[in-house]
Amino acid sequence: MAPSTVGALAAPAAEQIRLQVAAAARILGRVAPLLEVVRSAAATDPEIAELWRTNIGQRHIVQLRFADALDAKGALRPGTDAARAADIALAVLAPETYHLLVHERGWPADDWQEWATDALLGQLLAP
């Protein structure tokens, strides 16, 4: 596990989310256009479709690890378990969402990062 991941997992809940989104922003800034090509090609190529499903599965595993850490801290909203929290984070931090807002709608990457952070803080953490 990368040192920055270990640090994020050990951080207080709100800081964990901020660090998690910042890491996602760095990664998506580099790979979102490439992943959009893979996602599009998955519609017509079975091998690429399998690659895309694998990618989603791997991203979900990462989000579940972060959600488990929030759950262990007792930080999740009432009625939200780690599985649901991971699904929410998977959607908010998806390359498709990043691509839509940054590349299609023209949001600055910093605005996406602020939105994603606010969305996850509001959706995942207990008030």
Give the 3-state secondary structure of the chain: CCHHHHHHHHCCHHHHHHHHHHHHHHHHHHHHHHHHHHHHHHCCCHHHHHHHHHHHHHHHHHHHHHHHHHHHCCCECCCCCHHHHHHHHHHHCCHHHHHHHHHHCCCCHHHHHHHHHHHHHHHHECC
Q: For residue 78, is pLDDT > 90?
A: yes
Domain ranges for the chain: 3-124
pLDDT per residue over 31-75, tens digit each? Answer: 988 888 888 898 999 999 999 899 999 999 999 999 999 999 999
Distance of CA 88 to the CA centre of its chain: 8
Q: What are phi and psi of 77, to 5 degrees?
A: -55, 145
Q: Residue 10: count other Cβ atoms within 10 Å of its Cβ.
A: 12
Residue range 19-29, pLDDT digits in tens? 999 999 999 99
pLDDT in tens, 87-114: 999 999 999 999 999 999 999 999 999 9
- The Cα 118–Cα 102 span in angstroms is 16
Burial class (CB within 10 angstroms; exposed 0-12, middle 13-18, buried 19+) of 84: middle
What pLDDT, on a 0 to 100 scale, did the predictor assign at position 81?
98
Task: Please check whether residue 97 is in contact with residue 90, taking contact to mean a CB–CB distance below 8 angstroms.
Answer: no
The reported pLDDT for the residue numbered 96 is: 93
How high is the pLDDT of residue 3? 55
* Its pTM surpasses 0.75: yes
CATH of domain 3-124: 1.10.357
